[in-house]
Amino acid sequence: MADLPRYIELFESGELERRVMALDARLECCNICPRRCGANRVDGEIGLCNAGKLVAVASVCAHRGEEPALSGTRGSGAIFFGNCNLRCVYCQNFQISQDPAGQRHHEITTSRLANRMLHIQNDLGCHNLNLVSPTHYVPQIMRALLEAVPQGFRLPIVYNTNAYDEPSTLQELDGVVDIYLPDLKYSSNTIAMQLSDVAHYVQSARSSIKEMYRQVGNLQIDEEGLAVKGLIIRHLILPNDLAGSEDSLKWIAQELSPQVTVSIMSQYFPRHKAMQMPPLARSINSAEHRRVINIVDVLGMENGWMQDAGSQEYYLPDFNAEGHPFERS
């Protein structure tokens, strides 16, 4: 029988409930993410991320297109949260991340979120719970977990984030999250501001990833090839080196470890507003792809995955279609 997830001990000691109370209190003058916009989300105000008191759940599905150690044979149980604290002009999920009016229709209580978690475990039979863009809803997610555990919820938890997280919020997830799956999007704050409308992304993301690494360390895989615990950093190659790939990968190798698991993504496809921005209006080419693979080799980073060039179409979701956003009949 598999080991119990670490959050069970936190539940039984009362620590999980203490953290839920502490996080709830922070929603009154919200500082859950580095924007620290101060919205009183308990009293009906909406933050800069467009999130309020209730949690917007845009889609729930067994995701078979994540990294092999997450999707396994039964899929990774993805909960796609609506709204976002970034404004990426090329966002692949823009239908749910940047449509606040549409997401109001997807808002649910924490009890219903707990039911979705249990559905992923009991009905879909997934290997793990994959929280996609969870940053702005950490208090609600933690409360839902508090409700789901006594109903038998036991899946490992994956925190799948843009990395614009507040380290003090991540500290409340210590012992709760088993696998951290952050992006490392940029190595230039100027480009981050132009493309994602965010200040100090580089320092914020790097501090957050350091905190994640402190909590879970290098990726551990079980005998079935499934991720059990650890850090996986995703890096999406952008055209014209807008992602600053070499600098970000060097930072990982030098400031964390060359042993860190990295997932190099070549699936970029111009969506949302990207077609109006010439440097972003095309997929990456094979020379750009080869260059990043070479950097990974030179840095001695041997753990992880690299998408093949030309894999864009496979990864494009449609959240407006009926059913599974990635699997169209």
Do the beta carbons of residue 292 and residue 265 sit within 8 Å? no
| Closest CB to ligand SF4 among residues 41, 127 | 41
When asked if residue 243 is in the footprint of ligand SF4 (CB under 6 A), the reply is no
**Least CB distance to ligand SF4 at residue 51 (A):** 5
Comparing CB distances to ligand SF4, the nearer of 53 and 74 is: 53
CA distance 64 to 76: 6
The CB-of-138 to ligand SF4 minimum distance in angstroms stands at: 8
Q: Where are the alpha helices (DSSP H) in the chain?
A: 7-13, 15-26, 68-71, 94-97, 100-104, 110-122, 138-148, 167-171, 189-196, 201-216, 245-251, 286-298
Does 47 contact ligand SF4 by CB under 6 A?
A: yes
Q: Does 163 help bind ligand SF4 (rule: CB under 6 A)?
A: no
Q: Which stretch binds ligand SF4 (CB under 6 A): 45-53, 64-72, 217-225, 231-239?
A: 45-53
List the structure tokens of 306: 């690299």
In the range 281-310, which residues lie near ligand SF4 by CB under 6 A? Answer: none
Q: Which two tokens stand for residue 243?
A: 């992602």
- Exactly one of 11, 16, 20, 35 binds ligand SF4 (CB under 6 A); that residue is 35
Cβ atoms of 227 and 179 within 8 Å: the answer is yes
Which residues in 83-109 are b (16+ Cβ under 10 Å) and which e? bbbbbbbbbbbbbbbbbbebbeebbbe
What span, in angstroms and rounded, lies between the C-alpha atoms of 268 and 280? Answer: 9
Q: How far is Cα 317 from Cα 315, in angstroms, rounded to an integer?
A: 6
Q: Pick from 136, 234, 235, 289: which binds ligand SF4 (CB under 6 A)?
A: 136
Please name the amino acid found at residue 147.
E
- Could you say whether residue 49 binds ligand SF4 (CB under 6 A)? yes
- Between residues 32 and 131, which has the closer beta carbon with respect to ligand SF4? 32
Per the annotation, binding residues for [4Fe-4S] cluster are 84, 88, 91
Q: Taking the complex as a whole, how short is the minimal distance between the CB of residue 216 and ligand SF4, in angstroms?
A: 22
Residue 37 binding ligand SF4, by CB under 6 A? yes
For residue 30, state whether it binds ligand SF4 (rule: CB under 6 A): yes
Sorted by sequence, the CB contacts under 8 Å of residue 254 that are 6+ apart come out as none
Q: Do residues 64 and 75 touch, judged by C-beta distance below 8 A?
A: yes
Residue 33 found at the interface with ligand SF4 (CB under 6 A): yes
Q: Does 170 bind ligand SF4 (CB under 6 A)?
A: no
Map residue 264 onto helix, strand or coil. strand
**Does residue 249 belong to the site contacting ligand SF4 (CB under 6 A)?**
no
Residues 6+ apart with CB under 8 A from 94: 88, 271, 272
Q: Is 31 in the site for ligand SF4 (CB under 6 A)?
A: yes
Nearer to ligand SF4, 51 or 141 (CB): 51
Q: By CB under 6 A, what part of segment 180-209 binds ligand SF4? A: none
Q: Does residue number 88 form part of the binding site for ligand SF4 (CB under 6 A)? A: no
For binding to ligand SF4 (CB under 6 A), which residues are involved? 30-33, 35-37, 39, 41, 47-49, 51, 85, 136
